[in-house]
Amino acid sequence: MTEKKKVLFLLPKKERDNKEKFGEILAKKTDLEPFFAYEAGEVENPEEFDIVVSFFYDWFRQILPKMEGLQWIHFLSAGVDLLWDWGLDKKGYIFSKSSGVHAQPISDHVMAMVLYFSRELGTFERQKIKKEWKGHHLEELQGMTMGILGLGAIGRACAQKARAFGMRVLGTAGHPREVEGVEYVGGPGAVEKVIRESDYLVVALPLTGKTQGLIGKEELEKMKKKAVIINIARGEIIKEPDLIECLEKEKIKGAGLDVFAEEPLPENSPLWEMENVLITPHNAGSTPYYMERALEIFLENWEAYRQGQPLPTGVDLEKGY
């Protein structure tokens, strides 16, 4: 009989009460031997584990050198750009991520930002504070164009919801392919076309060496004057000083930003004071269903791992995500 694989789940402390529920799910669907920990001191024999399921905790990084039997790391986050900052021998492990876990909440957040600008909700909120009754010319989304840079799980969910509002959708993907609800899908070379034609430009790319600083002054100046840029990916993809200058000069209508080059966003950032900027604190992925969805993604990967097949959400070390 093959010895059971031992898997270490490093989870947020707020998930302690769900230990029994997660254990029951694993028992029904796997023959894994799970152990749950919520801080480094609770991991007594790190060398015994074959698999780790975790976020990018500093305390995980601290015990990682002691995990001599570790074969596979599944990250509970969808983005894995921090992996390149850890300095470990990446060839010594199999890596996977929870790609797709954010698709529903973040696409909801994107549409909320789109509606905030199209229906001038910021203007009305400021008027409410002043008890000012004044109507404005408002847009409707029917017939407008949403451009999506990065048609992964999040980008595809955004496309689906934009289409429900009657929007035209364009996008880019690593490899051009047909995507349901998307009129045009181009490769990385189509970024300029998507930028030029978008009324609402959504940045949903992974952060890699190729995407860092992808959108700067030159790209921003190609946007329509009434366009809005929405970033729910990583702050470093947009050159923040160039975006600030563009917004100050009103070269575009506005920006909906959930991510920033430095987080928390410094108090002295001009973005805080701009009426044409909507700021949320890297919170777009918030959902009460996060851990359940992340666990299901891990289980899909476990089934592939068990059968010796490629992992559905494996990390491509050459691509950087």
- Residues 154-212 have pLDDT tens digits of 999 999 999 999 999 999 999 889 999 999 999 999 999 999 999 999 999 999 999 99
Q: Of 102, 156, 234, 293, which residue is the catalytic one? A: 234
Q: How confident is the prediction for the chain on average, in pLDDT?
A: 96
Q: What is the Cβ-side half-sphere exposure of residue 194, based on CA atoms within 13 angstroms?
A: 27
- Determine the Cα–Cα distance for residues 229 and 203; give it in Å rounded to an integer: 8
Mean pLDDT of 81-109: 94
Q: Of 140, 248, 263, 275, which residue is the catalytic one? A: 263
The amino acid present at 291, given as its one-letter code, is M
- Determine the Cα–Cα distance for residues 12 and 47; give it in Å rounded to an integer: 22
- Say which DSSP state 238 is in: B
Centroid of chain to Cα 321: 12
16 is catalytic: no
| Strand blocks (E) in 66-195 | 72-75, 94-96, 145-149, 168-172, 184-186
Let me know: does 51 contact 7? Beta carbons within 8 Å: yes
Q: Given this model, what pLDDT does residue 2 score?
A: 59
Q: Is 277 helix (H, G, I), strand (E, B) or coil?
A: strand
Q: Given this model, what pLDDT does residue 1 score?
A: 38
| % residues pLDDT > 70 (the chain) | 99
Q: Given this model, what pLDDT does residue 140 score?
A: 98
Residue reference for tokens 């995507």: 179
234 is catalytic: yes
End-to-end CA distance of the chain: 36
Q: Provide the whole-model pTM.
A: 0.94
Residues 6 or more apart whose CB falls under 8 angstroms from that of 59 comprise 10, 39, 40
Mean pLDDT of 198-227: 97
Mean pLDDT of 28-34: 96
Domains in the chain, start-ordered, CATH in brackets?
Answer: 6-101+288-306 (3.40.50.720), 103-279 (3.40.50.720)
Q: Of 282, 292, 296, 300, which residue is the catalytic one? A: 282
CA distances from 308 to 98, 301, 304, 311 (A): 19, 10, 6, 9
For the beta sheet containing 6-10, the strands, ordered from the edge strand earlier in sequence to the opposite edge, are 33-37, 6-10, 51-54, 72-75, 94-96
- Determine the Cα–Cα distance for residues 247 and 210; give it in Å rounded to an integer: 25
Better-predicted residue by pLDDT, 59 or 88:
59
pLDDT at 34 > cutoff 60: yes
The rounded radius of gyration (Å) of the Cα atoms in the chain is: 22
Q: Given this model, what pLDDT does residue 24 score?
A: 96
